[in-house]
Structures are given as structure tokens and as C-alpha cells.
A = this chain, B = another copy of it.
Amino acid sequence: MKKSDSNVVNLFEQSNQGVQKIVLIDSMMMKRGGAISNPVLAYETWGKMNESRDNIVIILTGLSASSHVASHSSNPNPGWWEGIVGPDKAIDTNKFYVVCINSLGSCFGSTGPASLNEITGEPFRLTFPELTIDDMATATKLLLDKLKIQQINTLIGPSMGGMHALALIIQNNGLVRNFIGISTAFQSLPYAIAIRSLQREVIRKDPLWKNGYYTPDNPPLNGVRIARKLGMISYRSANEWSQRFGRKKSSKNNITQNTFGIENTGFEFEIESYLEHLAIKFQDVFDANCYLYLSRSIDWFDIIDYGASSKEVLGKTGLESAMILGIESDILFPIHQQKELAEYLSTNSTKVTYKSLDCIQGHDSFLVDIERFSQEIRCYLKDI
């Protein structure tokens, strides 16, 4: 990957300490057609594999996360699940060997649309083949083979990572013993598809997107930033924002006669400033084309592709146990999808725990309500 591919890559390279990368295979065929030469996955590890190799926990991520789930000696920056993963934490790295994998298609070290195509010497951009969650699972299995991991004690996937996990489980009977699915689903439903479709349209309509051929110094920042704000609206909840922001005005409030005519005039309401702040952080680290590919892969995911019915497919996972955690305030992966997933996974041989949590932070609760998620995950891992 060229350092100049985009500002995203530059920023990534700066915080890349401790990320390991492995070339998976000479050529990987993709589900919807095409192939990738020498695909790479990026990952980080915590703790040590024990001799019996039965303490392996694999974490698969949501759309926007890197493999940096927690700090470690090579990179002391806090990870995206710093409160959950570490010594004596819910996912105890004194006990477990934890591997967090950056999905195929992402822009944090794994091969994706922002990566260099070895054949052309240019970034793939839209020449990257169409990406599915199933391809992510194929790549992840190749990485596990390279790491000589033949069995996973517990596979953990929030959001898109849960879909990725389900695909990995279904593709590889016997590979995974236990599964924690968080705010995830076995197929995408139209409301979530609509939200993601609109995010992609905003990026595609940014003139700087240029059919994917934006330049490193001039990426479609408006598109990515607005897409991220729409993401945040779907990730959180109305109740949380009412409690947190109410009708508070921004401290940088700068009311002018023509509120709509002036750039960078500041946002009047605190909720607007909050979204702007978060979205600017995102626009500076995430590649637009990768976002499009990952987003669409979620829309396409449907476990029924593996059999006659979702129930039939999920009824023969071979899992020993699973825990499905859902959030009542989640509008993106609503609670009824968690319940259905838990029901379908549950069989005579697979013991399933289903929890409907009343956190108010919506889909993102697993990143925010650390106390609640620590408790649930600690309790589950103690029993297995």
C-alpha cells in the first residue's frame, strides 16, 4: 500500500504499531465474481495461546473498526473496546489468547479498495471485486489456517462482525465452539438497507468522489462526513440524546441572519456540534471507497444463501453454546432480529442465552455501556 494512497492511509500508518499482516493465499475467488491476488489481513493479538490451544478468542469488528480492540505494549493507544479487553477485564487477556481481525475490504491494513493493486500499480478503487460478508469469512478462515488455529474457543462479533462470525461458523462446521453475537443479525432488513443506501448515495454524489478516483489530497470529505452523521443517527437513540443534549445550544453558537448561507458558521444546537465533531474525526481516517464496499456487503448478507431457510441453516451450526445480546433501543439491528437469531441457533446440542438489554445508547451500546456488557460477557465466558 502506497503511503500516498490517501490521507487515510497516512494516518493509519502512523498508528500502525503492533498490527501484524499476513498474505493469505496467491489468489482468492470472490463470491460475486472476480478474484484478489495475494490478499492480506491485518490483525493484533493479546495474551498467549496455551499448550492445549483451547483459550483462543477471536473478535470480528463492526464496519468502521480497526484491529486495535485494546492497547498493548506495541501500541499503548486505547482500543475501541478498551474497557472490555485486557488483563482481568471481561475478555481477560491473562486467560485468553485474543486475536482481533481487520475485515477484508477495510482500510486499516487489510486488503480493500484503498489497497494497491499489484498488477496495475494503482489502488484498486472501484476495480476491487464486489465484496460480501461471506468473502470476509473466507479470508478470515485463511488467516486462521496461517495462524494454525484449528478451533476457536469463543468467537465474538458485534454488528457487522456478528454477520462475519455467522458466515465463518456456517462455512466451517466444528471450527467455533462458542459464539457471542452482539447487536447483529442473520440478514439485513429494508430499514437498515435504506439508511446505508443513503449513506452511500451521499458519498457518491460528492463531486470529489469522482467515481472513486479521488486524489489523496482531495478526498470526498463532505460525503464521508455526512454519511457518518447519518450513521450516528442510526447508531444511537432519541432518548439518549434527549437526556444528554436536550435543546442545549452549542457553546460555539454563532447565530447569523443567514444561518444557511455561511460556511463554518458553527452549529447552533449542541447535538449538531456533537455530530460534526465525531464526523470530522471519521472523515479524516476512513477511506470513502472502502466505506461503500463494506456498507454494501452488509446489505447483501443473508444467511439463507447457505441453505433452504434461515432456521435450517442456523439450526446446524455445531456450536456448543451462544449468547445473543440485543439492545431494545437499537433501530439498525432491532431487538426482534436478536430474538429470532437466538431462537434459530438454539438446538438440542447448542445452548443459547438471549439477553434483551435496556441500554439507551442504541446500536452503539456495546461501545458505551461497558459496565453492562462487561458483566454479561464475563458471566458467559466464566461458564464455558
A127 proximity list for chain B (CB < 8 A): 258
Known contacts: A226-B205, A260-B212, A292-B260. The answer to whether A193 contacts B130 by CB under 8 A is no
A5 within 8 A of B: no
A197 within 8 A of B: yes
Known contacts: A198-B230, A257-B34, A260-B126. The answer to whether A191 contacts B238 by CB under 8 A is yes
Select one of B129, B194, B334 contacting A275, CB under 8 A.
B194
Which single residue of chain B is at the shortest CB-CB distance from A248?
A: B190
A205 proximity list for chain B (CB < 8 A): 206, 222, 226
Select one of B269, B293, B299 contacting A197, CB under 8 A.
B269
**How long is the Cα–Cα vector from A222 to B205 in the complex, in angstroms?**
7
A232 proximity list for chain B (CB < 8 A): 194
Select one of B33, B191, B258 contacting A126, CB under 8 A.
B258
Select one of B195, B200, B260, B272 contacting A194, CB under 8 A.
B272
A212 proximity list for chain B (CB < 8 A): 260-261
Q: Is the CB of A198 within 8 A of B246?
A: no
Select one of B191, B247, B261 contacting A211, CB under 8 A.
B261
A222 proximity list for chain B (CB < 8 A): 205
Which single residue of chain B is at the shortest CB-CB distance from A200?
A: B260
**How long is the Cα–Cα vector from A247 to B244 in the complex, in angstroms?**
35
**How long is the Cα–Cα vector from A19 to B237 in the complex, in angstroms?**
41
A292 proximity list for chain B (CB < 8 A): 260
Q: Which of A239-289 contact B (CB under 8 A)?
A: 241-242, 244-247, 257-261, 267-272, 275, 289
A201 within 8 A of B: yes
A188 proximity list for chain B (CB < 8 A): 247
- Excluding A190-B238, A331-B331, 20 further A-B contacts by CB distance (< 8 Å) are A126-B260, A127-B258, A130-B259, A190-B241, A190-B244, A191-B233, A191-B237, A191-B271, A194-B232, A194-B241, A194-B272, A194-B275, A200-B260, A201-B226, A204-B260, A207-B207, A247-B302, A259-B296, A260-B289, A268-B299
A259 proximity list for chain B (CB < 8 A): 130, 296
A49 within 8 A of B: no
**How long is the Cα–Cα vector from A161 to B14 in the complex, in angstroms?**
53
Q: Is the CB of B198 within 8 A of A238?
A: no
A229 within 8 A of B: yes
Q: Is the CB of B201 within 8 A of A257?
A: no
A28 within 8 A of B: no
Q: Which of A126-171 contact B (CB under 8 A)?
A: 126-127, 129-130
Q: Is the CB of B189 within 8 A of A238?
A: yes
**How long is the Cα–Cα vector from A207 to B205 in the complex, in angstroms?**
10
Q: Distance in Å from the Cβ of A244 to the closest Cβ of chain B?
A: 8
Those 10 A-B pairs whose CB atoms lie nearest each other, nearest first: A191-B238, A190-B271, A190-B241, A190-B245, A126-B261, A126-B258, A260-B292, A205-B222, A197-B272, A189-B242
Q: Is the CB of A271 within 8 A of B230?
A: no
